[in-house]
Chains A and B, each alone.
Chain A
Amino acid sequence: MSDMRQFKEVNQVRRRVDGVGLVTGKALYTDDYDIHGMLSAKVLRSPYPHARIKSIDVAKARALEGVRAVLTWKDVPRVIITEAGQGFPEPSPYDKFILDNKVRFVGDEVAVVAAETTEIAEKALLLIKVTYEELKPILDPRDSMKPGAPVIHDEPEWRIPIPVEMDPKKNLCGRADVTIGNMQRGFSGADQVFEHEYENHYAQHVANEPHITISYLDPQNRLVLISSTQVPFHVRRIVARALDIPVKRIRVIKPRIGGGFGSKQDIVTEPLCAALTLATGMPVRLQLTREEVFTSSRTRHPTITRLKTGIKKDGTLTAIEMEVLQNAGPYGTHGLTVLTNTGSKILPLFRCANVRFNAWSVYTNLLQGGAYRGYGGTQSGLAMNIQMDEMARAIGLDVALLYRKLHIKKGEGSPVFAALGEGAEGHAMTIGSCGLAECIDIVMRESGWARKRNNPGAGRVRRGIGMAVLMQGSSIPKIDMASCSIKMNEDGSFNLLCGATDIGTGSDTVMAKIAAEVLGVKTDDVIVYSSDTDFTPFDVGAYASSTTYLSGMAAKKCAEQIAGQIRSVAAEMLEEDATGIVLEEGKAVGKKGGVTLAQVGTRSLYEKDQHQIAAFASAYSDQSPPPFAAHVAEIEVDIETGRVQVVTYWTATDCGVAINPLLAEGQVEGALLNGISYALSERFIYNSKGKLLNPSFGSYGVYFTRDLPEIKTFLVPTYEPSGPFGAKSIAEVNINGPLPAISNAIFDAVGVRLRKPPYTPEAVYKALKKR
């Protein structure tokens, strides 16, 4: 590791800066804001997967006492939008009206009511009479592009704002086809060729706080939204478009957020809530029920991946061909970008001269896909890591050695980086830091890999051990932008304002620590506020693992400017040259002595040449340095019931320099357990009409403490030269491991290969019977 000087705040264990409010229950989440006279909103949802609204009669509902507004598609602007909270122009199709005369999944929005109480609003929903003309639905993505398939988006307004291949007449809402090298030559040079189909299932984020928005008009008739969102600036832009009002009339406040994981990167509750405020002039609160979060927010895109790999006896890969069919659901939010990331988050990880990625995203009348931690990397991590295990066994090589031989190293690039980006071409990149070799060593050593592998034991309960390796990115190169401002106070403290959106990730703490490190003060001396579109500078928001890397970079640049201003005031005070002055322990110290930052602050505000020490800085990157991780899962399989239990799970992650090691470990463990429960128990059950049958915590299958296996977390320090104080991202990468690592462990235990999670007792039992 190079350039790792002794940090004072960065990389040290500190309490999170927002912690006290959280443990005392004082922190304000959206639902904690009381606004006098606030109305309660409820949404009428479609019972059909695909239907046209023939007529809709709201007279009785409007007449109900206490009802203030009932809106249907006739009452809202007919403006086509995407609800994907992405940069502009969005790489997602404009295929959604906030209310429409057609519904495209069970749970789609039909009408919305605002009333004096929730009970009245619910009663009003029952009084709305809708006549539907049922249309043939598409409930399997394999059917979406068949000739004669129903067209889910026949609205003439449909469009895609960037030049990419999509065709709503064919239900096609995303396409990628990239070839590097020569596939034919690649496969003919192989000693063995492997080809299988892998399929990941639907999943929901299940953030603890349901989606919620409060909207009201301020005294200037501006529309204020307090919202549980990961993307306040995108909310402002998209709500402005949807309601046909200027951006300048909207203010979005991000209060405390109760988790997101991608589900709140979309505009889910904001436009309807705001429309009701505009219609009534009154404050409105729209909170989804837990059932609605399941049926009508966002999901992980299910994907069918056909993976074909050519390998030589010595483990050299000669060709990788990945064919992907992604189920986008009824609207194309994030379909294309998750699709391209399915390729770009795994293919560069392994050296191979001939690579093809050929992929389709298609509409169906099932639940809506969106951003979900892992963002494509989960889908392809499954296929690639299982196939690696299959190939290693076939050529008689330990898969750990195969990984070590093939993985990308520091100083190397991959043609995939340039070929495949965010829905379009990407950007060439050379790896500036990679600790994956050490990650693999650690999980092998700590797990007792060599001893346990191929050693299932006999009897009813068999043991197995499996591995996976992973990469993600840190921000979207040349698209994402983050900025922040800092001003200095007379006591030597600082206000840092940022658009970076702390949704529980600890990014406020990361920003404070980075600024404190530069300014030579304690983390506590930096007061962070995030985010409010009226006050804080722009940031794309909390997604794409961008915050620590990119927003952190903005904090560092901004603090450096402030440090320069402090040094010049101190230089005058000390009567010496500014260049020799250093900031440490709350002082500006020169050759002739020092002054405290309080003295500098007081002088600049009150005493001499008065001015505000303040700065703005933006960060933007053409790189997206990947964090890397190695996973080992040790499991038990009960061969009589098919029940799989994780005994111990080891992870080692290279996130560069961990700005806050405790928070970084927390990101690993949270992502990991989410990945484990996704692999073993979380699932959606649909009936034959496309209706979700298990929209609840209890039946969906999230984990509680009793389900927790032993988890061993290791951070492998490297220094990423392009990152702030050597940092890369960490939030997403570790959710991608359990699907393949557990499948590989099941094979190690009982010799059956499961390529289609979840690995429920029924699925495993069935596979064992077929053996």
Chain B
Amino acid sequence: MKITLKINGKMRVVEAGPGEILLDVLRREGYKGAKFGCGHGFCGACTVLLDGRPVNSCLLLVGVVEGREITTIEALGSVDKLHPIQEAYLDAGAVQCGYCTPGFILSTKALLDEKPEPTEEEIKQALDGNYCRCTGYVKIIDAVKLAAKKRKKR
């Protein structure tokens, strides 16, 4: 079956079964920044933005997202021009194994798009669907604050 998906601003026609999981389709189409961690909506390694809001792509059927705006980590910065949130994650030391990082960065983007100057509580709430075993979250929260500051300066 052919399904039209709007991924990172571009229309793409993909071949997919109606019961297929969005995460599997995205990864097959080369958007490998979305990761598999549990398949049950707990870890957020598979986070993408759907119409600007973070969702667990491991829980969504492709059919449901047809025609809606999907944003993956690949839409943010590129290797030679990082997005300010990506810069902030590196500068704050918020990246260790990196498996959770695309998900965290996307959740951060959704948060800052809505609340450019979030409080610590708001940050913790917004990132609560993303699991990280490596960092203890401390530097991730620093990174979000740093990204907010960078954004304000621009």
Interface residues of A (CB under 8 A from B): 15-16, 18-29, 31-32, 205-210, 256-259, 261, 287, 289-290, 503-506, 662-663, 665-666, 669-674, 696-698, 702-706, 708, 711, 713
B153 at the interface (CB under 8 A from A): no
Interface residues of B in 54-96 (CB under 8 A from A): 72-74, 76-79, 82, 86, 89-96
* Per-residue contact bits, chain B 120-154, to A (CB 8 Å; 1 contact, 0 not): 00011101111111111111110000000000000
Contact A258 B97 (CB under 8 A): yes
Distance of A504 Cα from B134 Cα, bound (Å): 8
CB distance from A362 to the nearest CB of B (A): 29
Across the interface, B137 reaches (CB within 8 A) one of A504, A697, A705, namely A705
8 contacts between A and B (CB under 8 A): A23-B98, A24-B73, A25-B72, A208-B45, A257-B97, A290-B42, A669-B135, A698-B40
CB distance from A646 to the nearest CB of B (A): 12
CB distance from A606 to the nearest CB of B (A): 29
Contact B128 A711 (CB under 8 A): no
- Report if A697-B131 is in contact (Cβ < 8 Å); known contacts: A662-B93, A711-B136: yes
Distance of A665 Cα from B100 Cα, bound (Å): 18
Contact B38 A15 (CB under 8 A): no
Chain A residues with CB below 8 A from B131, complex form: 208, 697, 702, 704
Residue of A nearest to B31 (CB): A25
Contact B139 A669 (CB under 8 A): yes
Chain A residues with CB below 8 A from B91, complex form: 15
Apart from A24-B33, A665-B93, what 4 extra A-B contacts exist at CB < 8 Å? A26-B33, A208-B43, A259-B99, A708-B124
Across the interface, A205 reaches (CB within 8 A) one of B36, B99, B133, namely B133
Distance of A104 Cα from B62 Cα, bound (Å): 41
CB distance from A26 to the nearest CB of B (A): 6
CB distance from A539 to the nearest CB of B (A): 18
Contact A290 B40 (CB under 8 A): yes
* Per-residue contact bits, chain B 39-54, to A (CB 8 Å; 1 contact, 0 not): 1101101000000000
Distance of A506 Cα from B139 Cα, bound (Å): 15
- Report if A702-B72 is in contact (Cβ < 8 Å); known contacts: A23-B101, A25-B102, A666-B96: no
Contact B139 A665 (CB under 8 A): yes
Residue of A nearest to B75 (CB): A25
- Report if A23-B86 is in contact (Cβ < 8 Å); known contacts: A504-B96, A696-B42: yes
Chain B residues with CB below 8 A from A706, complex form: 124-125, 128
Distance of A280 Cα from B92 Cα, bound (Å): 47
Interface residues of B (CB under 8 A from A): 27, 32-40, 42-43, 45, 72-74, 76-79, 82, 86, 89-102, 105, 123-125, 127-141
Distance of A702 Cα from B101 Cα, bound (Å): 18
- Report if A696-B38 is in contact (Cβ < 8 Å); known contacts: A22-B101, A259-B99: yes
CB < 8 Å A-B pair total:
175
Chain B residues with CB below 8 A from A22, complex form: 95, 98, 101
Distance of A256 Cα from B32 Cα, bound (Å): 13
CB distance from B28 to the nearest CB of A (A): 9
Distance of A663 Cα from B136 Cα, bound (Å): 12
Chain B residues with CB below 8 A from A21, complex form: 79, 98
Contact A26 B79 (CB under 8 A): yes
Residue of A nearest to B72 (CB): A25
Distance of A18 Cα from B96 Cα, bound (Å): 10
Contact A24 B139 (CB under 8 A): no
Chain B residues with CB below 8 A from A289, complex form: 39
Contact B133 A670 (CB under 8 A): yes
Which of A503, A506, A670 has its CB near the most chain B CB atoms (within 10 A)?
A670
Residue of A nearest to B33 (CB): A25
Across the interface, B138 reaches (CB within 8 A) one of A19, A503, A669, namely A669
Contact B37 A208 (CB under 8 A): yes
- Report if A258-B35 is in contact (Cβ < 8 Å); known contacts: A16-B95, A705-B124, A706-B124: yes
Contact A24 B82 (CB under 8 A): yes
CB distance from A670 to the nearest CB of B (A): 5
- Report if A24-B38 is in contact (Cβ < 8 Å); known contacts: A504-B96, A505-B96: no
Chain B residues with CB below 8 A from A29, complex form: 35, 99
Chain A residues with CB below 8 A from B135, complex form: 666, 669-670
Residue of B nearest to A208 (CB): B99
